[in-house]
Amino acid sequence: MKEISLHGSRILIGEAVANIHKYLPSSHVVIITDGNVRKCYSELCNVFPTIEIETGEQHKTLNTISYIASELVHLEADRQTFILGIGGGIVCDVVGFAASIFMRGLPFGFVSTSLLSQVDASVGGKNGVNYKGYKNMLGVFAQPQFVICDPQSMATLPQKEFAAGFAEIVKAAMLASASLFGYIENNVEKALQKDPQTLEHLVYEAVKIKADIVAVDEREQGERRKLNLGHTFAHAIEKNTPLTHGEAVSVGLCKAAQLAVMLGLMSAKEQKRVENILQRLTLPTAVDIPNSALCDAMRKDKKKSGTNIHVVLPITIGHCEVREIAIAALNYLMSVDKTVVIL
């Protein structure tokens, strides 16, 4: 088991869920989870009062927060209540937000059960819900006391959801570690077979990269923006297709690399390596949606400032830069090459 500390949050990689009692306070504990995950952790959910939320991005809303609040009132939760979120990225985002605003903030922790939430969503203190169709528009920064990342959780995770998590690992490697990228290239088969040691290494390295960035910029004033690599595109893709977040990130990473090549910042050879690794990890690398719909969604992205948009561009594998691009210029680039779906 390896531990990474981040702003008071303990991220426990390789810790077994069976050891959860070591981290829970003796006070009143309430579990919040979704229906799929509850079935996998029914023993734990039988020990503590459990609130079950609906699955799916369409339920990452204020209605769900309101439902949780009403259930917490019903359970007579108070400031001594500890909230334990068990689930993937959606549960973690919703639970972190609900716990942070209920009675102005209850302590909380996560058992992070999807690969994507282990490497990204449950780490870093960002949480929140979608609002009026905009991703993560309402939320707060608040750190869980602990995050348990047990590789055994992957056993019940559907293969499609499992593969989606690799998109955020590839993102982390593209951002900061050519050696992690090389490790993925050399261990794709073992990773896809859910080999626990390979997974533990990948989760640890990806979390370390994220934690190092968040440690210097918790509130996304500068360096943390890099974590949005591929996400400006991904959020627009998620809104316009049935792809999951991780799948949309995979396409978004390819689009960011294509844009970097068009701007003369990245070599075509490195772009190909990005596409190849994502394909080998069984992830989508392109999507067929009208440019106009994606442009419109990107224009409305909450990360835009004025007429410009911040885009994270890969320069080489292991190094990215944030560039401000006029939306008009992005539109122009998108219309230049009709074979490139987004650009």
Ligand X SMILES: NC(=O)c1ccc[n+]([C@@H]2O[C@H](COP(=O)([O-])OP(=O)(O)OC[C@H]3O[C@@H](n4cnc5c(N)ncnc54)[C@H](O)[C@@H]3O)[C@@H](O)[C@H]2O)c1
By CB under 6 A, name the binding residues for ligand X: 34, 36-37, 40, 55, 57, 60, 87-91, 93, 113-114, 116-117, 120-121, 124, 126-127, 153, 156-157, 161, 164, 244-246
Smallest distance from ligand X to CB 135, Å: 6
Name the residue with tokens 């690398």: 285
Contact 12, 5 (CB under 8 A): no
Helix, strand and coil content of the chain, in percent to the nearest 5, comes to: 55, 20, 30
Cβ-based nearer residue to ligand X, 88 or 230: 88
Query: Residue 29 Cβ, how far from ligand X at the closest point, in Å?
Result: 20
Q: Please, which residue, 213 or 343, has the CB nearer to ligand X?
A: 213
Report the nearest approach of ligand X to the CB of residue 44 (Å).
12
CA angle 310, 230, 315 (to 5 degrees): 75
| Matching residue, tokens 């707060």 | 140
Between residues 93 and 270, which has the closer beta carbon with respect to ligand X?
Answer: 93
Given a contact cutoff of 8 angstroms between Cβ atoms, the answer to whether 110 and 31 are in contact is no
Nearest to 140 by CA among 183, 106, 186: 106
Inter-residue contact 42 to 177 (CB < 8 Å): no
Shortest Å distance, C-beta 231 to ligand X: 8
Identity of the residue, 15 or 93, whose beta carbon is nearer to ligand X in the bound complex: 93
**Exposed, middle or buried: residue 39 (CB in 10 Å: 0-12, 13-18, 19+)?**
exposed
State the maximum Cα–Cα separation within the chain, in Å, rounded to a whole number: 61
In the chain, DSSP assigns E strands to 2-6, 9-13, 29-34, 50-53, 82-87, 108-112, 126-131, 134-141, 146-149, 308-316, 319-326
Q: Which is nearer to ligand X, 33 or 271 (CB)?
A: 33
In the complex, least distance from residue 137 CB atom to ligand X, rounded to whole angstroms:
11
Q: Which is nearer to ligand X, 220 or 275 (CB)?
A: 220
- Min CB(161)–ligand X separation in Å: 4
Is the CB of residue 3 less than 8 Å from the CB of residue 147?
A: no
Whichever of 152 and 331 has its CB closer to ligand X, that residue is 152
Shortest reach from residue 164's CB to ligand X, in Å: 5
